[in-house]
Amino acid sequence: KGAAKPATAAAAKDEKKVHQPAPGVVAATPTAVAAAKKAGIDVMSLFPGSGSLGRVTADDVKLATGEKKAEKPKRPVAPGAVPLDLPDGLTPFSTMQRAVSKNMELTLTVPIFRVSREIYMDKFDALYQAVKPKGVSVSALLAKAVALAVEKYPVMNSSYDASGGTLFKEDINVAMAVAIDGGLITPTLRNANECTITEIGESWRDLVDKAKRNALSPEEYNTGTIAISNLGMFGVSQFDAILPPGMGTILAVGGTQTVVVPDDSAVLGLRKAKRMTVTVTCDHRNIYGADAALFLKELADIMENRVHVLLL
């Protein structure tokens, strides 16, 4: 019993003192009174407030109207750990982010369709390992493969024209989506079908470097005729991409996964294989489902059976 009194006294000392105002007395700061009147709130309905002796403050009114959020209790942090500080509130878009947002909205009126296909990557991956020491990236090889498939099915490189027709484009300019600090940009490999894989690799390194330094010229990012978005390096297995304005096709590339497939020549009739899922998004006004299916069939044939053409 003797120890209970000091504890009770300490608790009473820590408890915030609240003064009960006399009848007719408004226990609020003048700023709080004005803010409450403007918001149509009875200021005394917020009593006791956070001020001295329970006075209602302007912050109390802001909390009541939702203009200000109540502070959350701080989460306990383990010794040596860095406190978690999550962002909160509106962050205005940068110029690039506004442009990306506007472009995404423009595509909402386009009637699109999507087609997916699995591609076995064993031979493609072996080729990549062989050319990697020469500075050739997966992106460069993908761009070349897509460009060669477009040569056979050029409608995939076309776009819808408002006059009511299909606008074909002789140049095959492959735009590759790149995430950079504060936005997204699509450096373009121009005439990718006519360049060697080494030339494409060099151009791609230069374009990515410029993109990170915000030094791309307009013709280096707004001349694409077909686009590729690759999220495979992030472990994404499959996704759909949004069609960029002015284009008829964008190819979404997922990551390569190891799977077990039937093989009559293998022990137990099974073997491991590397497989990737790609999804093409097309403008249905000028490109049809059969066009997309045939294009993906040609792309798969190049990457599965004819990887040597990427070196020509």
| Per-residue pLDDT reduced to its tens digit, 245-279 | 999 999 999 999 999 988 888 888 898 999 999 99
What is the sign of the dihedral through the CA atoms of 57, 62, 65 and 66? negative
Spatial separation of the C-alpha atoms in residues 301 and 9, rounded to whole Å: 83
Spatial separation of the C-alpha atoms in residues 230 and 241, rounded to whole Å: 9
Set 152, 190, 274, 284: catalytic member: 284
Rounded average pLDDT over 230-244: 94
pLDDT value of position 81: 81
| Percentage of the chain exceeding pLDDT 90 | 59
Contact between 27 and 21 under an 8 Å Cβ cutoff? The reply is yes
- State yes or no: is 284 an active-site residue: yes
E-assigned strand segments in 23-142: 112-120
